[in-house]
Structure 1
Amino acid sequence: MVTALTLALPVPASASPALSLAAPTGDRPVGITSLYLKDTSRPDPWVATVPYRELMVSLFYPAVSAQGMKKQFMTETEAQAVFDEAGITGIPASVMTAVRTDAAVDARPAGHHLPLIVLSPGFKRPRAELTSLAEDLASHGTAVVVVDHTYENVATTFPDGRVTGCAACGNYDEAFWKKLERGRAADVSFVLDSLTHSRWASLIDASRIGMAGHSVGGASALDAMVTDPRIKAGIDIDGTTDDPLLAPGLDRPFLFLGRANTYTPGTGVESGSWQRDWAQLTGWKRWLVVAGVAHPSFTDIGLVGEQLGLDFGATTPAARGQAVTAAYVRAFFEEHLEGRAQPLLDRPSSRYPEVSFAMTSTPYLPAPTGDRPVGSTQVYLKDTSRPDPWVPSMPYRELMVSLFYPAASPHGPKTRYVTAAESAALLSGSGLDVPPDLLTRLVTTSVADARPAGSRLPLVVLSPGYTKPRATLSALAEDLASHGYAVALVGHTYENTGTSFPDGRFAGCASCEVPHDAAFSEKLQRGRAADVSFVLDSLTHSKKWAPLIDASRIGMAGHSAGGASTLPTMVADARVRAGMDIDGTTAVPLTPPGLARPFMFVSHQLAATACAPNVPWERDWAQLTGWRRWIEVAGTQHASFTDVGLVGEELGVDIGATTTAVRTQEIIRTYVNAFFDRHLRGEARPVLDEPGYPEVSFCR
C-alpha cells in the first residue's frame, strides 16, 4: 500500500512568515508556466459524471532572465486544504502563499530540444510539493513538467477559478492503489502527447524523456515506463509499488530512492515490493536508501514544515534531505538522458554519507580511505628456474601480478577489474542471473598505468584464496596504496578460475582437477611461497619498479589459502618482515625454532561464542616467538573479508553474514593498515592492542 503523507503533529502557536524553498543549484535562471490540459479521449476515473480528464501542470524550464513575478507556492485555498487534511491548526494558511520560490512566471525560455523530466507528487499532495526539485533540475538545463493528478489531491485550482477536491480519497484497498498507479501512467502519457504537439514542442527533445515521482507518484513511474516507451529512465522516490512489474520486466534505467528505515531490503512490506520489482528490472538499476529522513523529507512539505516547527520524525534536517534528493535525481537524469557519466551513482560518496547502496546492477569497490590517488599496472612474470607445479608440460612458471601504488594524479581511465574471460569464469556456477561480463564493469578507484608518486615505499604482497583470481583482493590493495604502500597482488596461475595473459591466452584451474588431500594443501601453500619469493626477486631487480620499493620493508597478507601461505613464505624468505593470515587454515605446520617476526591471525566467527578452538592456528601460535595477535570478527563469513563478499552483497546475495560486507571491509582495512604501519613503518597503532570495534574479539 502507498501511504499518504500525514502531518498530524504538534504545531507551534505561531509561525514564522519567512518561509522559503531550497535555492536551485544550477547557474541558469528558471521560468515557469501553468498549463491546462483536457483529455477528451477518456472519462475521469474518479468522477463518473465527468466525461473527460482535466489536468493542471507546471512547466519549468531554463529562462533568458530571472526577472519577473515569482511563482506562488500554492493558493490559500490549496494550503488550507492541505492543513485540514493533515489536522494542522494554529497556523494561518496564508503563510504558504508567501513561501519564497525562484521561478519567474511566464519568463521567456532559453534553449530548445532539452531533456524533459516528468514529476508526479504523492497521493493527496498538490504538485507544489515538488517545486524546489523542479526548479533545481531546470536550473541545470532541463525542462520539467510537474503534474497535478485531479481528484487525487486535496485541492487543484483551475484557470476558471474552480477548485476540485479529493474524490479518490476513501477506500484504500489493493485494487484502489493499482487503479491509481495505472491512471497516473495514463495521465503522464497524455501530458507527453500534449507537450510534444504544442507550442512547447521545440523546447523538448522527445527522445530524452524521464520520469520521477514521490510516494505513489514514484510508484507510478514503473507503470508509466511499461506503458510508454518514450520514457527512457525513471525514479521511484519513497513509493511502495502496488502494481507488480511483470515479465518480461523493464530494461530501461531505474532508480529506487527511499528511507533507510522503511526501504532497506528485508525491513517489511514496503521494501518487499521493491525487492519483487527489482528482480524484473533487467537494465541499469540502483536501490539507494537515505538514513535519518522521513517520508516528507524528499519534498517541499518536509522543508516548509520544518520551518514551521513541525516534527516529522526525521533526524536528518529537511534542507539536507532536499540536497540529497536533488543531487541523486539530477545525477541520474544527467547520466541517462544526457549521457554524462556520474560517479555519484557508482558507489557510496563521502559527500553524502547518509546514502547507502542497498543493491546495484553495477558492482563497485568501496573508495579507499587514504588521501593519496592510486595507480595500478599489470605485470607479467616468467620464472624459468622451475616448471609449473600443476601442468607438467609447462617447463616454466608464469604469473600475472597487479601492482598498486600511490599515483601522481587521480585522473585517467580506471583499472579494469577483470577481463571478460576472467569474469565469465568467476561467475560460472555462481547461480547469479547476471551477464557473464558483469565484473568487467565493476567500479574501481585506481588509475590504469598511472605515474607513480614516491619512492622506497614499503611493499605488501597479497595472495588471494584458492580458486579466486587476484582481483578479489583489489579493494584491500587500493586502500593500502592510498595510505602510501606499494602492493603486489599475485595471481597464482592454474590455482584460480582463470588468468588472462597479455598475449590473449587464458589459463584455467588445472589444480582443480587433482585430488584435494592433505598433500595437495601442503603443495599449494609451499608453491605459493615460491611464487611470492619469485615476485620479490622480479620487482626488486626491475629497473622500472625497484626504485618504488624499499626492499627492507616487505610484508605479506593473504586470504584463505593465500593467508595460510604466509607462514611458509616467511619461513622460506627472510625478506618478508611481517605477515597476516586472514581466515586461512595452515596446512604446513610451523616447526621449531618457529618464527620471531610479527604475525597476526584474523578469523571469521567460527561458532556461536567468540574465539572457538582452531587447532591448526593453536599449533602454529605456540611456535610464534615474536609479536603476535589473534582476532576474530563477529557476524562474518569466509567471503566477508574479500571483494566476493562485497560484490555479492551489492547484488543481493546472502552470504550468511550478519555483519555487512562493507562493515567487514572497514574493519579488515583498519587492522591490515595498522599491522603494517606498526611493523613496516614503526608507527604506534593502539587498535592492535585492544579491540577498536565491537565486532572484534582478541582471542590471543
Structure 2
Amino acid sequence: MRIKSITVITALTLALTPSSASADPALTLAKPTGDQPVGTTSLYLKDTSRPDPWVPSVPYRELMVSLFYPAVSSQGPKKQFMTEAEAKAVFDEAGVTGVPPSVLTTVHTDAVVDGRPAGRGLPLIVLSPGFKRPRAELTSLAEDLASHGTAVAVVDHTYENVATTFPDGRVTGCAACGNHDDAFWQKLQRGRAKDVSFVLDSLTRSKWASLVDASRIGMAGHSVGGASTIDAMVTDPRIKAGIDIDGTTDDPLLAPGLDRPFLFLGRAGTYTPGTGVESGTWQRDWDQLKGWKRWLVVAGMAHPSFTDIGLVGEQLGLDFGATTPAARGQAVTAAYVRAFFDQHLNGRAQPLLDQPSSHYPEVSFAMTSTPYLPAPTGDRPVGSASVYLKDTSRPDPWVPSVPYRELMVSLFYPASSSQGPKTQYLTAAESAALLKDSGLSVPPDLLTTMVTNSVAGARPAGHGLPLVVLSPGYTKPRATLTALAEDLASHGYAVAVVGHTYENAGQSFPDGRFAGCASCDVPHDGAFWEKLELGRAADVSFVLDSLTRSKWTSLVDPARIGMAGHSVGGASTLPTMVADARIKAGMDIDGTTHTGLNPPGLSRPFMFLGHQLGETACTAGDPTWERDWAQLTGWKRWAEVKGAQHASFTDVGLVGDELGVDYGATTSALRAQEIARAYVNAFFDRHLRGEARPVLDSPGYPEVSFCH
C-alpha cells in the first residue's frame, strides 16, 4: 500500500550504504546566510487539555520545542544537534552500524544557547519535521531563517519520532510506529495541527510573547510535517502562510478550501504533476487552494535532501540516491522557504517566486496561480511602450460607422536599465474578455498579475535597430506574443506587436474605451479569412508608416524590417510582404494561409514553423503551405515541432501549462517557446543582420524536423 511504503522507504534510505560510512568528527550544518547572530532555547510545553493521542494513559500532551531567534551576540556555547539517546535511536531505526552515535552529538551548529534576543515583534515560523525524525533535522533551515530576522519554533511531536529527550532526562520512543493505514496518517496530520496550535497559544502567552508578532505567523514542514501544514492552517487562522516540503497529503483539503498563500516544494521525480499517486494528492489539494499558490519541483533531490539528515548523512558517506549535493539541496530549500515567508509575512516582493531563476536551475515551476513569462535569453534589458495609432485614410473594416482605423501597438526595445515597474500584461477588461468562456476557475483579472520582464516606459538603448513586426492569432490580444517580443528585444531588436482592433477578445484604449470582437459576429467563410489577412496587411503597413515618421524614427532602421505572426497573424505575413516591399523577411508560425500566394510569388526569405500534424514528421503537412511553398522563390524553410500544439508557440500555452491546463501538447510550452525563440531569432539574424545561424541549416532540436 502506497501510504505505508512511504515511511518504510524514508527510513531505509539512511541505510543504503552503511558500510561506506566514515566517522568524520567535523560534521557541520549549513552556515546561516543572514547577517544576524542566532540564539536558541529549548522549551518544555505541557497541554493539560487533552491526553496524549498515542499513549492515552498519559493524561496530557508533552512537547519539546526549539526556539531560534536573532541574537545580540554570536559568542557563547553552541546548541547541541542531538542528544546521545536521540542519535542512537536515529541510527538504530535506520540500520546504520559502524558509526558511533556520538558523531551526531558533536555536529557543529551556529545557534548560541540562551543567547539574548535582538529585536521584538518578529514574524514567527513554526517548523514540523518528518515522521520518526527529531526536530534537529530542521536546524539548518531554522538557523538560516533566524539569521534573517525571524523567530522559528521547531516542534518535536512526542511519540511520533524515534526519540525525544525531556529536561528531566526522560527519553520517549516512537509509540506511533507500527502499521500505517489511511486513518493513521489522517490522525497524525490532525494531531500535529493541534500540537502547533498549542505551541502558538503557549508562545503568545509566555515570556516570549514580545518576541513575536502574532499577526505574522507562518508554518512549514518536511514530509508529514509539511502535509500537516494544511491541516494546521485549516484549523488555525493565525497561520497566514504555509509550505509543504516533500510531503504527500493524506488528509484531503475539502471545500471551501484554503485562501491563504501556500507553497508545495518537492522532488521532481515524485511530485512532478501526473507522475504518480503522491503528486496526485498535491493535485487534489491544489484545486482547493484558492489564494496565492506555487507548485515547485527540484531536480536531483532525495527525500532527506531538504533536511539536515541529508546534509549530515552525506558527510558520513551515506547514499540517499540524490544527484544534487546535500549542501546545494539545503541552499535551494532555504532560499525558497525564506523568499516565501519574506513575501507573505513581511510584505516584501520576491522575484524568486515569480518565475524560474537562473540562480537555481534545479527548480521548475510545475504550476502557479500567478502566471509568468520566461526570462528573455539575450543580454540586454528590455523596455516597452504602448503606442496609440489612428489611420484616417480608411474606415474600420469591421465597424464601418467608425470612419478611421484605430490600432494599439506594444513596442519592445533594448533598454538602458532593467530597473523600474514591469509592463502590465493585460488590463482588467482585456483579461476578463480573454478568460471569458475559458472554463478556468480563476479570477477574471488574473492576467493583470502576469509577471513580465520588460520595464514600462524605459529609456531605449541604441538606434537604427532592425524592426520585427508581430501579428497575433485571431481573437488573441497582442499581449499573447509578449514572451517572443521580449526575447527579440533582449537580442537587440525593436519589436512592434500589433493589436488588430475588433479582431481580438477585447482591447483597451488610453482614454478608457474598450473595443470587443466585432468581427466575431461575422460568418467565418473563405471570404472572411481573406478579408482578415488583407486587412492585417493594411494594418502593418500603416504601423510601419507611423513608426518611421514619429518620435520612434531614430530607433529603427527602415532598411531592416521583418514580420512574423502566429496563426492568422502568421498567415497574413505573406500578403503583407506582397503588398509592402519594406518587409525583407517573414515567418508564419502555425498559421493556415487563406490568401493564396500567386505568381510571380515571393522572392524574399520566408519560413514556415508549425506543430507536427501526423504521427510521423512531414507526412501530413498543411496543404495551404504546400500551395504557397511552390510560389516562394527565395530562401525558404519549413520546420515542424513534434509534440507541440497550436497554442504552444504563444503565451497562451505558457499560461496553460502554468495553470495545469491540458491542451493536448506533449512538448511543454516552455520548450516550444525555447524552440520558437531560437528559430525566430536565427531567421531574422540571418536575413536582417546577415549573420550565419547553423540552426537554420540543420535542425538543432530533437523535436524539430525540416520538411522542405
Quick check: 1:559 aligned with 2:549? no
The structural deviation recorded for 1:593 is 1.1
Please say if residues 686 and 693 of structure 2, whose CA atoms lie closer than 8 Å, have aligned partners that are also in contact.
yes
Aligned with residue 425 of structure 2, among 407, 411, 417: 417
User: Secondary structure of the residue that 2:604 maps to in structure 1?
Assistant: coil
**Pairing of 1:230-629 with structure 2 (within 5 A):** 230-542=238-550, 544-611=551-618, 612-629=620-637
Q: Distance in 1 between matches of 2:58 and 2:567?
A: 70
Q: Secondary structure at the match of 1:671?
A: helix
Residue 496 of structure 1 aligns with an amino acid whose one-letter code is N
Offset, 1:14:
2.9
Aligned to 1:178: 186
Superimposed CA distance per residue, residues 206-262 of structure 1 (whole angstroms, 9 cap, x where no aligned partner): 000000000000000000000000000000000001111111110000000000010
684-693 or 587-596: bigger deviation:
587-596
CA RMSD of aligned residues (A): 0.7
Farther off after superposition, 5-14 or 250-259:
5-14
Distance in structure 1 (CA, Å) of the matches to 2:60 and 2:570: 71
Partners of 1:587 and 1:270 in 2: CA distance: 48
Q: Which residue does 1:107 correspond to in 2? A: 115
Q: SS in structure 2 opposite 1:14?
A: coil
CA distance in 1, matches of 2:565, 2:27: 57
Among 61, 66, 82, the residue aligned to 1:74:
82
Query: 1:46-91: per-residue Cα shift (whole Å, max 9, x none)?
Result: 0021000000000000000000000011012111100110111111
Counterpart of 1:153 (choices 144, 161, 183) is 161
* Equivalent AA in structure 1 for residue 241 of structure 2: A
Deviation at 1:129, TM superposition (A): 0.1
Unaligned residue ranges in structure 1 (runs of 5+): none
Distance 1:607 1:517 in 2: 26
Q: Look up the equivalent residue of 1:152 and give its one-letter code.
A: E
Q: Is the CA contact (8 Å cut-off) linking 2:22 and 2:317 kept in structure 1?
A: no
Q: Which runs of structure 2 are paired with 1:66-145 in the superposition (5 Å)? A: 66-145=74-153
Work out the CA distance in 1 between the residues paired with 2:442 and 2:366: 17
Aligned mates of 1:469, 1:517 — CA distance in 2: 22
One-letter amino acid of the structure 2 residue matched with residue 575 of structure 1 = R
Cα offsets for 1:156-211 (capped at 9, x unmatched): 00000000000000010000000000000000000000000000000000000000
Displacement of 1:13 in angstroms is 5.4
1:9 to 2:16 alignment: yes
Partners of 2:26 and 2:549 in 1: CA distance:
70
Secondary structure at the counterpart of residue 71 of structure 1: coil
Q: How many matched pairs?
A: 699
- More deviation, 174-183/584-593: 584-593
Cα distance in 1 for residues equivalent to 2:514 and 2:698: 45
SS in 2 for 1:433: coil
TM-superposed CA distance for 1:328, in Å, is 0.2
Q: C-alpha deviations, 1:3-35, integer Å up to 9, x for none?
A: 332212112253221110000000000000000
C-alpha separation in 2, matches of 1:472 and 1:259 = 31
How many Å separate the matches in 1 of 2:123 and 2:514? Answer: 45
Contact 2:15 2:318 survives alignment (8 Å): no
Aligned to 1:638: 646
- 2:412 counterpart letter in structure 1: F
Tell me the distance in 2 between the aligned counterparts of 1:98 and 1:130: 16
Residue by residue, what CA displacement relative to the aligned partner does 1:513-566 show, whole Å, maximum 9, x if unpaired? 111111111110010000000000000011x10000000000000000000000
SS of the equivalent of 1:529 reads helix
Q: Map of 1:209-248 to 2, 5 A cutoff?
A: 209-248=217-256
1:615, CA displacement in angstroms?
1.2
Structure 2 Cα separation of the partners of residues 273 and 615 of structure 1: 45
**Aligned partners of 2:315 and 2:570: how far apart in 1?**
56
How far apart are the structure 1 equivalents of 2:221 and 2:613? Answer: 46
Query: Which segments of structure 1 move beyond 6 Å, counting only runs of 4 or more?
Result: none
- Percent of counterpart pairs with the same letter? 84
Secondary structure of 2:558's counterpart equals strand
Q: TM-score normalized by structure 1?
A: 0.99
What per-residue deviation string (whole Å, max 9, x for no partner) do you get for residues 329-362 of structure 1?
A: 0000000000000000011111101101111000
Offset of residue 393 of structure 1: 0.4
Amino acid at match of 2:657: E
2:659 is equivalent to residue 651 of structure 1 = yes
Alpha-carbon distance in 2 for matches of 1:603, 1:56:
61
Letter in 2 for 1:70: K
Letter in 2 for 1:134: A
Alignment of 1:187 with 2:191, yes or no, is no
SS where residue 478 of structure 1 aligns? Answer: helix
1:596 is matched by which residue type in structure 2? S
1:42 aligns to what SS in structure 2? coil
Gaps of 5+ in 2: none
Whole-Å separation in 2 of the counterparts to 1:73 and 1:366:
41
Q: Structure 2 CA distance, aligned partners of 1:568 and 1:431?
A: 35
Q: How many angstroms does 1:613 deviate by?
A: 2.9
Query: Alpha-carbon deviations, 1:631-669, whole Å to 9, x = none?
Result: 000000000000000001101100100000011011100
Q: Please tell me the residue identity of whatever aligns with 1:246.
A: L
Give SS of 1:664's match: helix
Structure 2 distance, partners of 1:474, 1:522, is: 26
Code of the residue aligned with 1:600 in structure 2: it is M
The Cα offsets for residues 346-388 of structure 1, whole Å up to 9 and x where unpaired, read as 1111110110111100001111111110000000000001111
| Alpha-carbon distance in structure 2 between the residues aligned to 1:246 and 1:18 | 47
Indicate if the aligned counterparts of 2:21 and 2:316 stay in contact, CA closer than 8 A.
no
Match of 1:686 in 2: 694
SS state of the match for residue 221, structure 1? helix
TM-score (norm 2): 0.98
2:15 is paired with a residue whose SS is coil
Counterpart AA for 2:365: F
Q: In 1, distance between residues paired with 2:455 and 2:414? A: 10
Displacement of 1:614: 2.0
Q: Secondary structure of 2:625's match?
A: helix
Aligned-partner SS, 2:358: coil
